[in-house]
Structure 1
Amino acid sequence: MSSMINIIKQNSSFVRPQYFFINGFHDIPHAKLYYMFLCFAYVVAVCGNSIVMFIIFTQRHLHIPKYIGILNLAVADLGESSALIPNLIKTFLFDSQYITYEACLANMFFVFFFIALQSMTLVVLACDRFVAICLPLRYHTLLTNTSMSVMITGMWLVNVVIVGTTTVLITRLSYCKTIVIDSYFCDHGPLYRMACNDNSANSIMAKVNTVLVLHVPFVFIVLSYVCILLALFRITSWEGRVKALKTCISHLLIVALFFLPFISTYIAAVTFSLHPNARIICLSLASAIPPMLNPVIYVLNTEEIRGFLKKKVKQNTSKISNLHAL
């Protein structure tokens, strides 16, 4: 590995390695079984999110603000899984742990871009539930297909700026000590801490990213649901409260799946020294499980999507029965 450190590109200011080495787990037996589980999670995520996207695209009655948001979440889930897990499989199942400098930065950009997109999409869906329950008479005025599309386009642009700036700042770092990244992908934290020159700007940007991608969205969603709960208490009938609350269950489950693992890992890392293996397991599960389960949650809890699938299953069953009758 020492020979790889000597293979460098040096310009007038910065020392850049030609390759980085993705370390992965530290001395864990049968780690490949865990990577195979992540491969399974990826296949389920691709199939599930593709089905959700297909249903929303093809059913015109689902071309409404709520489902535009769900469609964007499916795109974000699919993008994040595809940016992370295929590279992980290639890296560890096929023992290809070296990654070029340019490919490493591209990998970091897309992983963090789609994670940020997931977080912000959950905020938009929280807005949808807030307006639907707290301001029902103004729902169709405030939330139109146009306004939802504008919000989603704005999210994409903001994420490009935030994650792009974070990635560009990495190019200002010199690597003259090690090329080993203690993570399972080109993770921003380990990457900037490896540098042998001033990384204060990167440290600040890491904190800004954490606040903008995790803290602010989570606080906004919590405040939205506080307002929703207050609105539910004003509904006189118990049936009305339950009916309104049911429309929030899918979103609440997905919010919990996304935020709790990331926030728990962040608190653990800040509170005490978190072992790299524990960090890798927590973050990889936090990245792999939500894209796998989100489509299942929406299918089980969304009447329109569930109804469409039941209709298709019934049609296919009838066709098979007719063929057997012939």
Structure 2
Amino acid sequence: MPERNHSVLTEFVLTGFPGLHQEYYGLVSALLFFVYLVTMIANVTVIFLIATNRSLHKPMYYIILNLSVCDILFSTATLPKIISRYWFRSGSISFTACFIQMYFVHYLGTVNSYILFQMALDRYLAICHPLRYSRVLTKSNILILSITAWIAAKACPLMMVIRAYPLPYCASNIITHCFCDHIGITVLACTDRAPYSIPAFVFAMVALLGPLAFILFSYCSILIAVYKIANVQGRLKSLSTCSTQLIIISLYFLPRCFVYLASNVGITFSADVRIVIIMLLDVRIGLILLYSLFPAAVNPVIYCFKTHDIKHMLMKRLKKTKIELELKLSP
């Protein structure tokens, strides 16, 4: 059966959180705007600190720099539209803009996955093969890995968009989500979804499980190496250097793997529960985080509190700024 043109639909409508009452729209939009503001300020601060301090020009901090850039781009691609959904009661998004957003959501998600792979590689070499670390993870090698991550991640999301765009969308235009993604769009197509969903699912699992497999291997190896350290203080110090990455990795991978598996193996749940699972997700120190939104804002906070060099540079910068302000205000 030949596929019809998609001209029947000119726009999609993002529902956001389906069960949310209108009286809470202002509160939700303010909260999301605050998250976006914190994300931008926190990640720009991390980028500024790394870019302006030569002592932070090390492989691990170049990886953090890439992650901060990715967090800024992902938040900018998704948050403004959902904020306007509740702030201005404008949930509509044009047909083409929805697919552009879908591309960036999956592209930046893939880049994020590859960057987390680099973080695990950094810790694995630093703890399990310290003598090789300086030879393998040079600045030039990190640059090559970073450029490769940003370029290689383009292919599959682009393929997903090219295959999904011409599908006949002739029924509902309601996307039960906070942004356009492949599952949310293709379920609206008036055709058999399997030829399109299966390759997308395989891509998602490769992009997620490939890096995750190495990450699990690396941290198992790290735990074994740390266990062999006789000095208890040395063990704690080695584990502390990994805790930052483990927190970020948990926030990123665990919920995403569940959502993709649930969507493709027949696990069904209501729209509200799906949104909660997709936007929710890990609890740290009693705070409910949102995996698609909060990690971008939380990651820089984790860097500042768990990474000694960045924390030291941040405090030094704040003290310098305070002294300069006092000098200007003094008579």
TM-score when normalising by structure 1: 0.90
* Residue identity in the other structure for 1:120: Y
| Alpha-carbon distance in 1 for matches of 2:187, 2:47 | 39
> Are residues 15 and 248 of structure 1, via their aligned partners in 2, closer, same or farther at CA, if it must alter by over 3 Å?
same
Q: Secondary structure of the equivalent of 2:292?
A: helix
Figure out how many residues of one structure are paired with residues of the other and give that number.
316
Cα shift at 1:124: 0.6
Give the equivalent residue in structure 1 for 2:275.
Answer: 280
**Could you give the per-residue CA deviations for residues 255-286 of structure 1, whole angstroms, max 9, x where no partner exists?**
11222332344455546312212222332321
Give the equivalent residue in structure 2 for 1:301.
Answer: 306
Is the Cα contact below 8 Å between 2:3 and 2:168 reproduced in 1?
no
**Could you give the per-residue CA deviations for residues 36-80 of structure 1, whole angstroms, max 9, x where no partner exists?**
322211111110000000111111222221111100000111111
* Residue identity in the other structure for 2:5: F
Match for 1:230 among 221, 224, 237? 224
| Alpha-carbon distance in 2 for matches of 1:73, 1:12 | 40
Give the equivalent residue in structure 1 for 2:34.
Answer: 40
> Are residues 27 and 301 of structure 1, via their aligned partners in 2, closer, same or farther at CA, if it must alter by over 3 Å?
closer
Cα shift at 1:15: 2.7
Cα shift at 1:320: 3.9
The answer to whether 1:246 aligns with 2:240 is yes
Q: Secondary structure of the equivalent of 2:93?
A: strand
Q: Secondary structure of the equivalent of 1:286?
A: coil
TM-score when normalising by structure 2: 0.89
Cα shift at 1:185: 1.4
The answer to whether 1:125 aligns with 2:119 is yes
Is the Cα contact below 8 Å between 1:169 and 1:201 reproduced in 2?
no
Give the equivalent residue in structure 1 for 2:11.
Answer: 19
Give the equivalent residue in structure 2 for 1:147.
Answer: 141
Unpaired segments of 5 or more residues in structure 1? 1-10
The answer to whether 1:87 aligns with 2:113 is no
| Alpha-carbon distance in 2 for matches of 1:47, 1:125 | 23
Is the Cα contact below 8 Å between 2:39 and 2:72 reproduced in 1?
yes
| Alpha-carbon distance in 1 for matches of 2:308, 2:73 | 26
Is the Cα contact below 8 Å between 1:49 and 1:77 reproduced in 2?
yes
| Alpha-carbon distance in 2 for matches of 1:83, 1:323 | 40
Is the Cα contact below 8 Å between 1:181 and 1:190 reproduced in 2?
yes
**After the TM superposition, which of the residue ranges 259-268 and 34-43 deviates more from structure 2?**
259-268
Cα shift at 1:81: 0.6
* Residue identity in the other structure for 1:162: C
Cα shift at 1:13: 4.8
Is the Cα contact below 8 Å between 1:268 and 1:274 reproduced in 2?
no
**Could you give the per-residue CA deviations for residues 111-132 of structure 1, whole angstroms, max 9, x where no partner exists?**
1211221121111100000011
Q: Secondary structure of the equivalent of 2:293?
A: helix
Is the Cα contact below 8 Å between 1:173 and 1:199 reproduced in 2?
no
Cα shift at 1:325: 5.0
**Could you give the per-residue CA deviations for residues 12-39 of structure 1, whole angstroms, max 9, x where no partner exists?**
8533322112223324224523343222
Give the equivalent residue in structure 1 for 2:189.
Answer: 195
* Residue identity in the other structure for 1:273: T
> Are residues 321 and 183 of structure 1, via their aligned partners in 2, closer, same or farther at CA, if it must alter by over 3 Å?
closer
Give the equivalent residue in structure 1 for 2:108.
Answer: 114
The answer to whether 1:316 aligns with 2:317 is no
| Alpha-carbon distance in 2 for matches of 1:322, 1:102 | 54
Give the equivalent residue in structure 1 for 2:295.
Answer: 290
Cα shift at 1:196: 1.0
* Aligned-residue RMSD, C-alpha: 2.0
Is the Cα contact below 8 Å between 1:49 and 1:295 reproduced in 2?
yes
After the TM superposition, list the runs of 4 or more consecutive aligned residues in structure 1 that deviate by more than 6 angstroms.
none
Unpaired segments of 5 or more residues in structure 2? 280-289
Cα shift at 1:160: 0.5
* Residue identity in the other structure for 2:6: V
| Alpha-carbon distance in 1 for matches of 2:323, 2:180 | 50
Cα shift at 1:180: 1.6
**After the TM superposition, which of the residue ranges 138-147 and 34-43 deviates more from structure 2?**
34-43
Identity %: 34
